[in-house]
Amino acid sequence: MKKYNILFLCTHNSARSILGEALASTHPSGLFVGYSAGSSPGTSINPFAKALALDIGYDEKKLRSKSWDEFALPDAPKMDFIVTVCDNAAGEQCPFWPGKPATAHWGFPDPSQIQGSDDDKRKAFYAVMVGLKKRIDLLAELPLDQLDSMTLQKVHTR
């Protein structure tokens, strides 16, 4: 069975894109290898995103903020899909992606901006994770070898 590489992009690569990477890589379909990166990567993963990624069984050694420049290098994995998950990254000039992958914007509010208790913050991160999971679940149901950017963009939650 072919595995599809999917790169989730966000500005700092510390929360939403990390959750996308973890969810795609651990998806029960086995169809995806998730990656994530940012245009201005941070120095660490948000602890709430890290806890959720570990809870779903993602390998802690893979949790690090990465620049999207890593994925534009000649020896980088070739992406089948590129998904921006924050409005800032969606509006930025992205690097050239070899192989012309299908692209989409699945915008989610930044859970790291939530003010309040740790419980409030956990709930915000969990809501983003649930939204991403629903979209990845829907994506897994589509004929992936025939998918284009228009179709990928329209993957909505039920």
Catalytic sites, residue numbers: 10, 86, 94
Instruction: State the CB neighbour count (10 A cutoff) for residue 40.
Output: 14
What is d(CA 36, CA 64) in angstroms, rounded to the nearest whole number? 9
Question: Would you say 85 and 64 are in contact if contact means Cβ atoms under 8 Å apart?
Answer: no
Question: Would you say 80 and 6 are in contact if contact means Cβ atoms under 8 Å apart?
Answer: yes
Which of these, 117, 102, 157, 131, lies nearest to 23 by C-alpha position? 131
Helices H / strands E in the chain, number of each:
5, 4
